[in-house]
Structure 1
Amino acid sequence: MKKTILSLVLTTFIGASTMANPIEKETKTVKAEESKVTWKAYKVAGSHTGTVKLQSGALEFDGDKLVGGEFVVDMTSINTTDLEGDYKNKLDGHLSSADFFSTENNPTSKLVFTKVKSSGKNSYEVTGDLTIKGITKPVTFDVSVYGSKATATLKVDRTKYDIKYSSGLIGTAKDKLIYDEFDLVVDLQM
């Protein structure tokens, strides 16, 4: 009987203290027009850089600690910034084609945070589900948050999303003209 009463008292105490200190989560909407997503892809003879527009996004905080996030990118906005004229137009068209991102059938890509771990002051190691071309795979990357700004860097293996054009997975190593991994640098404004 004493054990039952003790259990009830502890349960009530723990329950009351939890209600007295509720977790206050805050969702901060990202200003898509003021934020920037930059990509860099590598090939044997060099690299190309460009941008893609953020369609929507939000970061979730518990107090001042990052605990979640979700983002949608407009893949139809893919833009090469290191070329001009016909070369730029051809590369933008090719990146939008079925050889790469198939933007007509897959106009958006999405990233949803699944795990956030603090790695230092204002720094986090994030694992999330990245969806490109309707294929979802986990990615791990670093995020830094400073006031109303956040930055993230990701390395993405395109072959995991059925983007195998000129990949080392097809043919021999000498045919690998475009590297399988590309980089994303994200600067967010909240």
Structure 2
Amino acid sequence: MELTEGRLEIRTGVAGAASRAGHRLTLRVERWSATVELDGDEPVAVQFHADLTSLKVQSGSGGVTPLTPVDKQVIARNAAKTLEASSYPQVVFRGEVQPGYLVAGELTIHGVSKPLRAGIDVADGRARASIPVLQSDFGIKPYSLMLGQLRVADEVIVDLDVAVPADLI
């Protein structure tokens, strides 16, 4: 069963001595897909694909000045470069659904695969998860400026919010 309605966002923090000058960003992945495999009416497996070439800056808080539309375009390009999205455009998760709305499987980012276990909150026809991911675990060096005095924090939070058919809840 294909799940098509929802959103996938990545929240970043800032680090470094000049972190007060940086923006905490919310990036939206515009192209993604999620599939749930069923055994009867029970979800047993999930597969998720995200296209990193579709990143868009939704918002930014903090920083010295508000983000302009041009800033958002520059940030999206820098994110694509940092993630090497032209070489590694897909993020993929494949896993099994376990009792208690847990998923366990393998997350592949930047050509590196790591095990992932995450809890899913299911309520009001939605499945939601907030999953911390360390960029360095996947061979990604977080974006930095000013010789590292201002940089994106290593940990990012991946937020997923997907509409779920009533028969799956």
| Shorter-chain TM-score range | 0.7 to 0.9
- For 1:185, which of 134, 154, 159 is the aligned residue? 159
Q: Report the equivalent of 1:144.
A: 121
Q: Report the equivalent of 2:13.
A: 42
Q: Specify whether residues 56 and 38 from structure 1 end up closer, same or farther in structure 2 by C-alpha distance, changes over 3 A only.
A: same
Q: Report the equivalent of 1:118.
A: 99
Q: Is the 8 A contact 2:105 2:117 kept in 1?
A: yes
Greater C-alpha radius of gyration: 1
Q: Give 5+ residue unaligned stretches, structure 1.
A: 1-27
Q: Specify whether residues 139 and 78 from structure 1 end up closer, same or farther in structure 2 by C-alpha distance, changes over 3 A only.
A: same
* CA offsets 1:90-141 (integer angstroms, 9 cap, x no match): 11010001xx21111112111111x43223xxxx222221111111111221
What TM-score, normalized by structure 1, do the two folds share? 0.69
Distance 2:25 2:124 in 1: 31
- Once the two structures are superposed, the pairs formed by residues 22-171 of structure 1 within 5 Å of their partners are 28-31=1-4, 34-44=5-15, 45=20, 46-82=23-59, 83-97=67-81, 100-113=82-95, 115-119=96-100, 124-146=101-123, 149-165=126-142
Distance 1:60 1:176 in 2: 43
How much identity, in percent, do the aligned residues show?
24
Aligned pairs, number: 149
The AA in structure 2 aligned to 1:71 is F
Q: Specify whether residues 183 and 131 from structure 1 end up closer, same or farther in structure 2 by C-alpha distance, changes over 3 A only.
A: same
Q: Is the 8 A contact 1:35 1:54 kept in 2?
A: no
Q: Is the 8 A contact 1:36 1:54 kept in 2?
A: no
